[in-house]
Structure 1
């Protein structure tokens, strides 16, 4: 979203790389006019490049990506695949397939095998495992806000709050399911990062990677999803006001209710 502040440290942590490649990538994006120097240092998004078409039949990146995600979730794609096989199955050129694989790889649900081919990583598929993922998050996320070493990253919290407010203000009806998942998971990850506890942070990222595909199937209707985004804004406001205990309790209520709603309980 134009105006979004890009925090070098947060990007490096999310991508599991050092700051050097992130810094280099931001400089390249600045040269292309995609980002610009921010008023408070670092960079901010200047414009969002138009997505290039991916599939020969006219489908965009999102449609082809979601088709692959759905086929994997339904078991129509085996654990191990080849680029030639995927290209034939989805009618992709090598360049188009490469872009999709780069995205899936960055999201953490596929990895390149030594020498040849790709391997899908484990993911949540059953109703029970999906429900358990929310119960696990219900245990760790509110506790993360109460950690003794908790330090509020005010800039990062304000940034994800602004993204959630943008969704509440109407953008939620314009974004796809994958982008909505990314924005919502980013909100929760930023809050947990403030805990300063690496085990909390790593655990939540692993769960987010495992639940990504099944979340596309369980995305709430937009009129219900906007309620959850509004709750995100309320939690952020409590943290920014220094009311950490209340924020933790509100987060507990949020996760409990949205988990039950998505799991159909």
Structure 2
């Protein structure tokens, strides 16, 4: 059987869900994992009869079925890439987004040699603290999440990258701030999508990604930012800073909230020119 036959099948079965280019990308990413062969070799052998393709056809068929059911390719494979690093993922953690890479980049540009204490609020897969630790090796990094299943995945990723992260099973909206030390930098990509926005979201996100990592109540969409700002009053050192990812539709509202706690609040746009990040400094 030829690998091109499988590719044609993927193109036909998934054309209602993805563009042709997206299907190509998904197929070769999947084929690399199933056949344990680099993409360039797969493309060179695309039209050749290859016994290995027959041997693993059932694996391709099963994965195709998952994709047709709208399961994201990252969950199908069990991993994704973030800031050039591999991270293991499953339905217990949010799939890291490119916008969060921009948040990381902002921090690293501002603090290329940071050696203080960092806290990541709502760590999920651990992509933020682990990436920061690989770059800021002298920093002491803590991360919290209320989901023990998410923390298990974060710990697996931390072990894979041989990074020392102190993980805390904490419900950030309901805990005593004095149970944690003071920090020099607080970072977070918290839930910020209002419930009413579900109607406009992709089915793969709604059916498979953890809603607790995405959605907040319509009546209080800034609930996590308020808690972060309040937490900073007691647990952020005098010269400390906060970096957060935000809802692009609530940039000015989020800035106004933080401005009641900080003298300096800056909004930064992402590569698509959407309000995406905020940095806060100088506690009032």
The reply to whether TM is greater than 0.5 is no
Q: Identify the TM-score tier after normalising by the shorter chain.
A: under 0.3
TM norm structure 1: 0.22
State the TM-score, normalized to the length of structure 2: 0.21
Q: Whose helix proportion is higher, 1 or 2?
A: 1
User: As a proportion of its length, which structure holds more strand?
Assistant: 2
